């Protein structure tokens, strides 16, 4: 595993070669039961407690298709602008593997339920890129093996393995792109943006939580290079089971640099599976198979064809929720912001919290301001994501409410948020405990204003003379005297009133 | 098409995970050749424009509601296991991918 | 009543219901018969003495409580060892499942239990139902009660032999290419392959999923019908199960008649390879049908000539995949786990040690037929042949109500005679296979003994899909006429063992 790999710099690679990618994403559906049996899919159960004759592959057991699994596949197909098959079948993909109980995977082969679609994705700078979808098909997950006796639970060097089949049979949708051409140097970025957009679509459809870190969504990155200006695809490598957005981008980037080095050196790329290593950002070759796989696909005789009626498909289409792209475009218009601003929100993963904050009663501008300002900064500093911050959208909404009621000013509001993030309680509790209420007692304020005028006669004269802008200095003095707890706008009003000047 | 070689039989045996003995390879090569030779007649219809039948009855859309049914207990699931450990099926080291 | 074992299922049920016999008496009589003769016949792989007696006692208690009993309550049955039985070994005639105790009941097993049928034990069979002689059982062959040196048919030879030797009045078989009908034919018993999808396959260890079908075996047409009604019906656990009411098979069996029926005789079901005595008895049967008022129609089904070839591509293809799960990791045999072999190697060693030669041959054949480059020519073409055969049947059934043929081209051959010649063995299913490929229903019932060897000959009746009742209507009429002609049921001519 320590063999060094020659790499060419990314820029040099792109100077000579044009990358072509194919992305295969497996999504575990969030159905209550498995694809072909009634076992629960609940996570965290004790080993082999969610198995039955069917998903254990016991002799005699038979599969029955989960209707919600099919419906979810159709939803995904429609969301990806695919055609939905009028008639399709399951097929058996035959190969032996210990974590696959029947030693064939029930999948779909040449008759996928959804095919010929596309997904428009947006890159960091707001540019749009269309990724063509080849197909989306239904299949089932495998069990899980734990390797014992070797280093760090790897297969390599293990003395034996332990198998848990709770995951075996959980529905998967495999989504395969057509070859992605023309992305050039932005190929890795396209890969990442595609997987992210796909994840958002899946989540919006409610068919899966699509949490990559939990293995609910996994991506295989197929990549090849061809000399710039040529048409014919080069030989591809298949980097398997990449499980974060960042890794998808890094894996593509690494493979571009590795392929270029091999090709520059006069070598040839071997068509092989490779494994991505999170720690080093590199890929290594999988076990070389002595013989090419021959999956001997044939129609699954234990299942009958799936022929979704057009009525059903249209019903599903009509009930589809608003999809992420449409939603972004709608919000962009509603909020009157630019595409670049929207992209910044997306990049910060702030869209959902902002919308949730608005839903909780805040106005759009304030919600954006807090999430993209104070909260983004805080998340950045602590190296977490926005949804991991210890504050809820409802709490942010409450802070904006206190501000708009005049109970807090921005400075105090920041302190309230800081308190909530620090675990001091709800916004109201923080206000209470820290004593952060805006001073609105007119008597106390009037006294502070009079004191400030008395202490700064020169400034007061300028204001009397019409230089309203000079009021800022007196406001500052009042704020200082009240330790920031006064409502600045009211202070300014009082000063002008006392000095007999009106604004504007 | 027939004329199955010993190497082909060996390849098929690997695909089918059968550790055939040398004499079995020999034996099967001859027998498979005979059988394939006899049944290859079906390809007489290969060019005919008839749809294939994968299933004897014209059923479609047999599905179940997404409702949880009782699973086996782990003890039942593991009851036939040749070896087990930590409530899991214990198998020799896997030479799969790493 | 001294000869309980000679009683049919309908009679036993009636006598238990009337109180003339108890279920325990009946069960004990059959267990005693098994004890007495099965050492010679070897119909059973496992006798579940305790389980059977417990079931029988439960029936008697039910009766004592005054509860209504089902039409087969207390009747003993021999279950082919291909159906899972919770807590009772299920081997499918294979070493690879030796000692396996399933944690679940097949749907068919559940239905039998729910109907208070008493399951005596599990019967011998060709390994994974692959064979026509029961010689491929890993646990040794079964003898034909008519002549113990002869095969009892296969794959369900244990079930047919149990019936013919009066060890059970009812049995269950499975029919992928003839494994119910051919054993019935060579043992002088009745066997029915229902329409594909009529009897649930859940818990029936798969050989070839698109062909396999469980069905009733008995000594009379009526008994088969009574059992048919118990085991057939929709099962949500089997996606290929038919969701329509079971045809009125018992009513048909009680009202046998061929009056005014059109009966087809297919030109392709005779000729080279057919034993003279078989053809003779078949021709007599056709004449009998005519006498009974049927109109005989000659039929041409040219694609039937390709049926055997298509079958020997489809069945092995499906089996190569169905049997992949026997890998020595989760259940059953494990060989070579000595610390030096990987999981992959242990799987290959286990399969090599656990499967017999016929199973390996078919796995290899199926692996070949599905492999890249050959799929279209072999598996693909075979599926087209299947369409053509179905069309031939459809055309035929526009002209006739049922088709008749010999069930199998010859009477029982000697154990060992065809063991080394797979092609010769495969010919035993020549007449039965087209029905499996098309999915329709068929029955075999005795039509006499072949003059040259005094062994039973079977008459096959074939009906369109979902018209299983026609088999019983015609079968009952033919059976009654033959019994009248012979003066007794054919089995009374069998040696007493
Ligand atoms: Mg897949
Ligand atoms: Zn399950």
Least confident of A213-222, A280-289, C206-215, C233-242: A280-289
Residue A408: pLDDT above 90?
no
Q: Residue A155: its pLDDT value, please?
A: 66
Residue A3: pLDDT above 60?
no
Q: Residue A502: its pLDDT value, please?
A: 75
Residue A64: pLDDT above 60?
yes
Q: Residue A170: its pLDDT value, please?
A: 98
C129: left (phi over 0), alpha (psi -120 to 50) or beta: left
Q: Residue A238: its pLDDT value, please?
A: 95
Which residues of chain B make contact with C382, given a CB cutoff of 8 A?
39, 42
User: Is B2 in CB contact (< 8 Å) with chain C?
Assistant: no
| B19·C351 Cβ contact <8 A | yes
Q: Which residues contact B53 (CB under 8 A, 6 or more apart)?
A: C383, C384, C386, C387, C390, C437
Residue A151: pLDDT above 70?
no
Nearest CA to CA, how far is C75 from chain A (Å)? 25
Q: Residue A124: its pLDDT value, please?
A: 83
Q: Assess contact for C389 and B13: CB atoms under 8 A.
A: no
Per-residue confidence band for A347, with pLDDT thresholds at 50, 70 and 90 = confident
User: Is A53 in CB contact (< 8 Å) with chain C?
Assistant: yes
Mean pLDDT by 10 residues, chain C (497 residues): 87 97 98 98 98 98 95 98 98 97 98 98 98 97 98 98 98 98 98 98 98 98 98 98 97 98 96 95 98 98 96 97 98 95 97 98 96 90 96 98 98 94 90 98 98 98 98 98 98 94
Residue A369: pLDDT above 90?
yes
**Among B64, B71, B92, whose Cβ lies nearest the Cβ of A66?**
B64
Per-residue confidence band for A504, with pLDDT thresholds at 50, 70 and 90 = low
Rounded Cα–Cα distance for residues C48 and C205 (Å): 20
Interface of A with C in 54-93 (CB under 8 A): 56-65, 92
Ligand nearest to the CA of A62: 2
| A101·C238 Cβ contact <8 A | no
Ligand nearest to the CA of A174: 1
Backbone torsions φ then ψ of A136, nearest 5 degrees: -135, 125
Which residues of chain A make contact with C236, given a CB cutoff of 8 A?
64
Interval between CA A94 and ligand 1 midpoint (Å): 12
| A60·C204 Cβ contact <8 A | yes
Residue A224: pLDDT above 90?
yes
Question: What is the rounded average pLDDT of the residues A418-431?
Answer: 92
Q: Which residues contact C431 (CB under 8 A, 6 or more apart)?
A: C178, C269, C405, C406, C407, C408, C409, C460
Number of Cβ atoms within 10 Å of the Cβ of C267 = 12
In 3D, which of C69, C58, C112 has the Cα closest to residue C88? C112
The distance between the two most distant Cα atoms of chain B, rounded to a whole number of Å, is: 57
Residue A150: pLDDT above 90?
no
In 3D, which of C40, C44, C38 has the Cα closest to residue C157? C44
| B46·C377 Cβ contact <8 A | yes
Q: How far is CA C379 from CA A103, A108, A459, B6, in A?
A: 20, 18, 98, 22
Query: Which residues of B make CB contacts under 8 Å with A?
Result: 11, 14-15, 17, 54-55, 57, 59-74, 77-78, 80, 85-98
Q: Catalytic amino acids of C?
A: 80, 155, 179
Q: Residue A33: its pLDDT value, please?
A: 98
**Among B1, B56, B95, whose Cβ lies nearest the Cβ of C196?**
B56
Rounded Cα–Cα distance for residues A47 and A45 (Å): 6
Per-residue confidence band for A412, with pLDDT thresholds at 50, 70 and 90 = confident
Interval between CA A54 and ligand 1 midpoint (Å): 20
Q: Residue B98: its pLDDT value, please?
A: 44
Question: C328 to chain A: nearest residue by CA?
Answer: A98
Residue B1: pLDDT above 50?
no
Per-residue confidence band for A370, with pLDDT thresholds at 50, 70 and 90 = very high
Write out pLDDT tens, residues A160-183: 999 999 999 999 999 999 999 999
Interface of C with B in 423-442 (CB under 8 A): 423, 437-439
Helix, strand or coil, per DSSP, at residue B40 = helix
Per-residue confidence band for A35, with pLDDT thresholds at 50, 70 and 90 = very high
Interface of C with B in 380-409 (CB under 8 A): 380-388, 390
State chain A's mean pLDDT as an integer. Answer: 92
Ligand nearest to the CA of A93: 1
Q: Complex ipTM, two decimals?
A: 0.97
Per-residue confidence band for A1, with pLDDT thresholds at 50, 70 and 90 = very low
| A61·C97 Cβ contact <8 A | no
**Among A52, A147, A303, whose Cβ lies nearest the Cβ of B71?**
A52
Question: What is the rounded average pLDDT of the residues A300-323?
Answer: 97
Q: Residue A291: its pLDDT value, please?
A: 66
């Amino acid at each position: 595993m320590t063999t060094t790999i020659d790499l060419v710099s990314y820029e040099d690679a792109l100077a000579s070669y044009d990358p072509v990618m194919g992305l295969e994403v497996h999504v575990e559906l969030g159905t209550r039961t498995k694809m072909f049996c009634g076992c629960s899919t609940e996570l965290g159960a004790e080993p082999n407690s969610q198995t039955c004759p069917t998903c254990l592959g016991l002799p005699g057991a038979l599969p029955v298709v989960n209707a919600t699994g099919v419906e979810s596949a159709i939803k995904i197909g429609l969301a990806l602008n695919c055609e939905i098959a009028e008639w399709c079948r399951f097929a058996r993909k035959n190969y032996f593997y210990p974590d696959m109980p029947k030693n064939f995977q029930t999948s779909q082969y040449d008759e996928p339920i959804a095919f010929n679609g596309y997904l428009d994705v947006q890159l960091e700078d707001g540019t749009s890129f269309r990724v063509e979808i080849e197909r989306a098909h239904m299949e089932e997950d495998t069990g899980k093996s734990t390797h014992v006796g070797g280093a760090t639970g790897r297969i390599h060097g293990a003395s034996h393995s332990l198998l848990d089949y709770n995951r075996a049979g959980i529905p998967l949708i495999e989504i395969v792109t057509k070859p992605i051409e023309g992305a050039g140097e932005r190929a890795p970025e396209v890969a990442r943006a595609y997987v992210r957009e796909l994840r958002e679509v899946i989540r919006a459809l409610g068919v899966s939580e699509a949490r990559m870190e939990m293995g609910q969504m996994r991506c295989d990155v197929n990549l090849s290079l061809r000399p710039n200006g040529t048409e014919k695809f080069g030989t591809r490598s298949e980097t398997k089971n990449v499980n974060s957005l960042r890794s998808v981008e890094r894996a593509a980037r690494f493979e571009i640099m590795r392929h270029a080095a091999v090709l520059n050196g006069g070598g040839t790329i071997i068509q092989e599976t490779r494994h991505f290593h999170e720690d080093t950002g590199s890929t290594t070759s999988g076990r070389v198979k002595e013989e090419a796989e021959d999956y001997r696909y044939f129609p699954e005789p234990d299942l009958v064809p799936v022929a979704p009626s057009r009525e059903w498909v249209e019903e599903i289409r009509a009930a589809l929720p608003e999809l992420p792209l449409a939603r972004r475009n709608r919000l962009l218009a509603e909020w009157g912001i630019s595409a670049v601003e929207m992209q910044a929100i997306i990049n910060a993963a702030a869209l959902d919290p902002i919308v949730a904050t608005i839903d909780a009663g805040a106005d759009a501008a304030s919600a954006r301001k807090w999430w993209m300002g104070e909260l983004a900064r805080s998340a950045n500093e602590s190296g977490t994501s926005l949804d991991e911050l210890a504050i809820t959208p409802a709490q942010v909404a409450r802070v904006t409410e206190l501000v708009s009621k005049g109970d807090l000013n921005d400075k105090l509001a920041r302190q309230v948020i800081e308190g909530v993030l620090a675990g001091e309680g709800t916004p109201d509790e923080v206000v209470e405990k820290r004593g952060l209420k805006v001073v609105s007692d007119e008597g106390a304020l009037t006294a502070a204003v009079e004191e400030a005028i008395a202490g700064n006669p020169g400034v007061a004269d300028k204001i009397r003379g019409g230089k309203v802008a000079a009021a800022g200095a007196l406001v500052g003095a009042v704020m200082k005297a009240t330790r920031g707890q006064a409502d600045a706008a009211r202070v300014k009003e009082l000063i002008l009133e006392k000095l007999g000047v009106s604004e504007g | 098409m027939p004329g199955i070689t010993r190497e082909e039989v060996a390849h098929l045996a690997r695909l089918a995970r059968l550790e055939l003995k040398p004499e079995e390879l020999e034996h099967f090569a001859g027998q498979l050749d005979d059988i394939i030779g006899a049944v290859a007649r079906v390809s007489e219809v290969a060019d005919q424009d008839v749809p294939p039948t994968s299933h004897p009855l014209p059923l479609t859309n047999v599905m179940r509601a997404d409702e949880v049914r009782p699973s086996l207990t782990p003890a039942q699931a593991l009851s036939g296991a040749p070896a087990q450990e930590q409530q899991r099926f214990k198998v020799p080291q896997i030479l799969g991918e790493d | 009543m001294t000869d309980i074992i000679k009683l049919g299922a309908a009679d036993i049920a009636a006598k238990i219901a009337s109180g003339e016999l108890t279920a325990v008496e009946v069960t004990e009589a059959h267990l005693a018969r098994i004890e007495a003769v099965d050492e010679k016949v070897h119909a059973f792989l496992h006798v579940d003495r305790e389980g059977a007696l417990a079931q029988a006692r439960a029936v008697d208690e039910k009766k004592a409580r005054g509860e209504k009993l089902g039409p087969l309550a207390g009747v003993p049955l021999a279950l082919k060892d291909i159906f899972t039985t919770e807590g009772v070994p299920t081997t499918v005639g294979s070493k690879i499942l030796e000692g396996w105790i399933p944690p679940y009941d097949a749907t068919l097993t559940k239905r039998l239990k729910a109907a208070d049928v008493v399951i005596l034990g599990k019967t011998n069979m060709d390994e994974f139902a692959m064979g026509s002689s029961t010689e491929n059982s890993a646990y040794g062959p079964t003898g034909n009660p008519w002549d113990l040196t002869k095969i009892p048919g296969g794959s369900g030879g244990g079930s047919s032999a149990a019936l013919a030797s009066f060890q059970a009045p009812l049995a269950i078989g499975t029919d992928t290419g003839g494994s119910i009908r051919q054993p019935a034919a060579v043992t002088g018993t009745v066997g029915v392959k229902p329409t594909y999808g009529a009897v649930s396959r859940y818990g029936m260890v798969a050989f070839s999923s698109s062909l396999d079908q469980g069905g009733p075996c008995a000594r009379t047409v009526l008994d088969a019908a009574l059992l048919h009604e118990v085991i057939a019906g929709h099962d949500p656990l089997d996606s290929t199960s038919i969701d329509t009411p079971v045809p009125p098979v018992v009513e048909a069996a009680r009202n046998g008649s061929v009056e005014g029926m059109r009966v087809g005789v297919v030109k392709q079901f005779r000729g080279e390879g057919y034993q003279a005595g078989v053809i003779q008895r078949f021709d007599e049967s056709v004449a009998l049908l005519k006498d009974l008022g049927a109109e005989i129609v000659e039929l041409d089904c040219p694609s039937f000539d390709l049926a055997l070839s298509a079958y020997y591509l489809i069945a092995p293809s499906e089996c190569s995949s169905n049997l992949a799960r026997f890998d020595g990791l989760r259940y059953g045999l494990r060989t070579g786990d000595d610390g030096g072999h990987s999981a992959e190697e242990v799987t290959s060693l286990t399969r090599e040690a656990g499967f017999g030669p016929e199973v390996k041959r078919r796995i290899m054949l199926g692996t070949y037929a599905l492999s890249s480059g050959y799929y279209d020519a072999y598996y693909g073409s075979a599926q087209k042949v299947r369409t053509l055969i179905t069309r031939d049947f459809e055309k035929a059934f526009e002209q006739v109500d049922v088709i008749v043929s010999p069930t199998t081209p010859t009477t029982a051959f000697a154990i060992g005679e065809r063991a080394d010649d797979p092609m010769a063995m495969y010919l035993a299913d020549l007449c039965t296979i087209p029905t499996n490929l098309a999915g329709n229903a068929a029955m075999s019932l005795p039509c006499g003994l072949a003059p040259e060897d005094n062994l039973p000959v079977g008459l096959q009746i074939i009906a369109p899909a979902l018209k299983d009742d026609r088999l019983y209507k015609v079968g009952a009429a033919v059976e009654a006429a033959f019994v009248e002609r012979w003066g007794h049921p054919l089995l009374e001519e069998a040696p007493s063992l």
